[in-house]
A = this chain, B = another copy of it.
Amino acid sequence: MDVRAYLAERSPLVDRWLDDFLPAADEPPAQLHAAVRHLLFPGGKRFRPVLAMAAAEAVGESPQASLPAAAALELIHTYSLIHDDLPCMDDDDERRWAPTVHVKYGEAVAVLAGDALLAKAFEAAAAVLPDAGAERTVLAMRDLAVAAGSRGLVGGQVDDLAYEHDTPDAACIESVHERKTGALIAASVMVGARLAGASQEQLEQLHCFGRDVGVAFQIADDGFDEDEDGGCSLVRALGREAAEARAEALLGAALSQIAEWPERAEPLRELARFAVRRDR
């Protein structure tokens, strides 16, 4: 299958849902609402929402069943990027060839736009679709909250910052990747599948799948440039060859979790391969 075409077909569903859901950029306070949309439109590949929809499909439901929760994943991802870019964190001026939110709207509005996106994620996820029902919706919202919290994304970011001028070992680096990236990728596939009625066994397999894909993706996303300055780069810790091998091993472990799943899980498997191997 053509995974780029698959992404290109699914991501506009997310774009449209988000555009309808979010206040217009000129709704007062206009600074805030423009800032909330700044990094979302035009967006990236909507990888996490598309993963959620592919996970719903893998357990036999239409992708639409998980659309609000899928959109919530993009809102959480976007909030985390805005806060990561802040002067007190990574202090980045540009992202996706545009000024970061704090450069364009100021630091206070950037913090608050991130806060608003995180709150909006739970408003989005609270849309109960008839097929999913309230019980699954609450559990999905709980998955999102746990992934975003201090044992997930936020905890990973704290350690990532702490290691910035340090030389952490491979286990510490993978622990950061697992929380900062793996937790939300794991939540993506779990939430999509949960709303589609996945069994407990399927959810456990998807949790491991998502976590390992997330770590492998992050290893690959850091690039295979050995001249990195320090901080959480597995290439810097292990060298290029070993880091590439580790990413491949994690991808293999992830795929083995759902290897027996039927043909309709193929998009999920392909998305995992694409996330890790991408341009290679």
Question: Residues on A close to B: CB < 8 A?
Answer: 23, 28-29, 31-33, 36, 79, 83, 86, 88-89, 106-109, 111-112, 114-116, 118-123, 126, 128, 133-135, 137-139, 141-142, 144-146, 148-155, 157-159, 161-162
Q: Give the number of copies in the complex.
A: 2
Q: Report yes or no: A115 in contact with B154, Cβ–Cβ below 8 A.
A: yes
In Å, the complex CA distance between A137 and B137 comes to 10
Q: Which residues of B contact A161 (CB under 8 A)?
A: 108
- Provide 6 A-B residue pairs closer than 8 Å at the C-beta atoms, listed in order of the A residue: A29-B155, A115-B118, A120-B150, A123-B146, A126-B145, A134-B137
Closest residue of chain B to A109 (Cβ to Cβ) is B158
Closest residue of chain B to A135 (Cβ to Cβ) is B134
Choose among B29, B31, B138 the residue that contacts A128 (Cβ–Cβ < 8 A).
Answer: B138
Q: Report yes or no: A122 in contact with B145, Cβ–Cβ below 8 A.
A: yes
Q: Which residues of B contact A33 (CB under 8 A)?
A: 150
Q: Report yes or no: A116 in contact with B154, Cβ–Cβ below 8 A.
A: yes
Q: Report yes or no: A116 in contact with B31, Cβ–Cβ below 8 A.
A: no
Q: Report yes or no: A158 in contact with B119, Cβ–Cβ below 8 A.
A: no
Output the least CB separation between A38 and chain B (Å): 13
Choose among B28, B121, B141, B154 the residue that contacts A32 (Cβ–Cβ < 8 A).
Answer: B154
Output the least CB separation between A151 and chain B (Å): 7
Output the least CB separation between A21 and chain B (Å): 11
In Å, the complex CA distance between A90 and B58 comes to 48
Output the least CB separation between A186 and chain B (Å): 15
Q: Which residues of B contact A32 (CB under 8 A)?
A: 150, 154-155, 158
Closest residue of chain B to A159 (Cβ to Cβ) is B29
Q: Report yes or no: A83 in contact with B111, Cβ–Cβ below 8 A.
A: yes
Q: Report yes or no: B83 in contact with A115, Cβ–Cβ below 8 A.
A: yes
Q: Report yes or no: A126 in contact with B142, Cβ–Cβ below 8 A.
A: yes
Q: Which residues of B contact A162 (CB under 8 A)?
A: 29, 31
In Å, the complex CA distance between A128 and B154 comes to 25
Closest residue of chain B to A157 (Cβ to Cβ) is B112
Q: Which residues of B contact A150 (CB under 8 A)?
A: 23, 29, 32-33, 36, 116, 119-120
In Å, the complex CA distance between A111 and B133 comes to 34
Choose among B23, B119, B159 the residue that contacts A145 (Cβ–Cβ < 8 A).
Answer: B119
Q: Report yes or no: B157 in contact with A141, Cβ–Cβ below 8 A.
A: no
Q: Report yes or no: B126 in contact with A141, Cβ–Cβ below 8 A.
A: yes
Could you list 13 further interchain pairs (A-B, Cβ under 8 angstroms) beyond the known A134-B134, A137-B138?
A29-B158, A31-B158, A31-B162, A83-B115, A88-B106, A108-B161, A112-B157, A115-B118, A116-B154, A119-B152, A119-B154, A121-B145, A123-B142
In Å, the complex CA distance between A159 and B27 comes to 13
CB within 8 Å for A149 and B120 given contacts A29-B158, A158-B31:
yes
